[in-house]
Amino acid sequence: MKEKLNIIKVGGTIVEEESSLSGLLMSFAALRGLKILVHGGGKIATAVAEKLGIESQMINGRRVTSAEMLKVVTMVYGGLVNKNIVARLQALGVNAIGLTGADMNIIMSVKRPAEIVNFGYVGDVKYVNVKALSSLLESGAVPVLAPLTHDKEGTVLNTNADTISSSVAQALSKDFDVTLTYCSSMPGVLSDMNDPSSVLSSITPAQFDPLVGKGVITEGMIPKLQNAFEAISAGVKKVVITSPSALDGGTAIVQNAETED
């Protein structure tokens, strides 16, 4: 029987606000067994970039990363946010280790081709070092992954944290019983953005395009769900979108309505 592994992705206002980050880290620390935390920090990066006079551009929830913006996200994601989370987890008794994709060659990617849209220094994941991550987990370490990868040619690449979470979950699902949880400020996917109680208990790929068309699913939730669908179809046992206060609730990602528990 495969050992259970929880992969938690956190970003948005949860990372930015002290109360929500504190609650999430306490919930994460309380999780038993093997676990990995993947974090974002886009709002902090945007704020720092603005102070430096660097324009931020988002397309469908994904950041366009110029050479100057790459410097900002490398500093913010790999430094400020990552090390703050690691230090906080250590204070909670979690033996956390902060990593980017370049460390131990954890995640290698290639620069996204400039086709319809030129996203700049954005990486598409091509390789996850399962052996290295498994070794860390078996040693008792808890990896905390920043949303940065590398091309193994000396360049760091900005990579969507939801994509990293999905890619790592897929790669490790061959050896572990993986549950992937996307934590956001919302308690799940809402049918009505103005009603926090309108959480969809589940969502399927067939429901995705109609909900995007109606404007129910927008911005950052679009790539989040795309990555969630990819993970569940690749063998990840369970994928959930929820809030830090309801790690056992939220919206389950399923292949079709019949597969919902």
157-198 pLDDT, tens digit per residue, is: 999 998 999 999 999 999 999 999 999 878 888 888 788 888
pLDDT confidence of residue 209: 86
Domain residue limits at 61: 3-259
> Any idea what the CATH number is for the domain that residue 206 is in?
3.40.1160.10
Tokens read off for 254: 């399923």
In the chain, beta strands by DSSP E? 3-10, 34-39, 57-59, 62-64, 96-99, 107-111, 123-128, 142-145, 148-150, 156-158, 176-183, 202-203, 238-242, 251-253
Rounded CA gap, 100 and 113, in Å? 22
Interval 5-41: pLDDT, tens = 999 999 878 888 888 899 899 999 999 999 999 999 8
Q: Tell me which residue of 44, 165, 28, 159 sits closest to 102, measured CA to CA.
A: 159
Predicted pLDDT at 261: 47
- pLDDT digits 0-9 by tens, 108-159: 999 999 878 889 999 999 999 999 999 999 999 999 999 999 999 999 999 9
Confidence (pLDDT) at 187: 83
Reported confidence tier of residue 255, pLDDT bands at 50, 70, 90: confident
| CB distance 38 to 168 below 8 Å | yes
pLDDT the model gives residue 258: 54
Percent of the chain with pLDDT over 90: 57
The count of structural domains within the chain is 1
Quote the CA–CA distance of 166 and 235 in Å, as a whole number.
Answer: 11
pLDDT at 16: 84
pLDDT band at residue 219 using 50, 70 and 90 as cut-offs: confident
Q: Output the pTM of the full model.
A: 0.89
Nearest to 8, CA basis, from 164, 229, 219: 164
pLDDT, tens digit, 9 for 90 and up, residues 121-132: 999 999 999 999
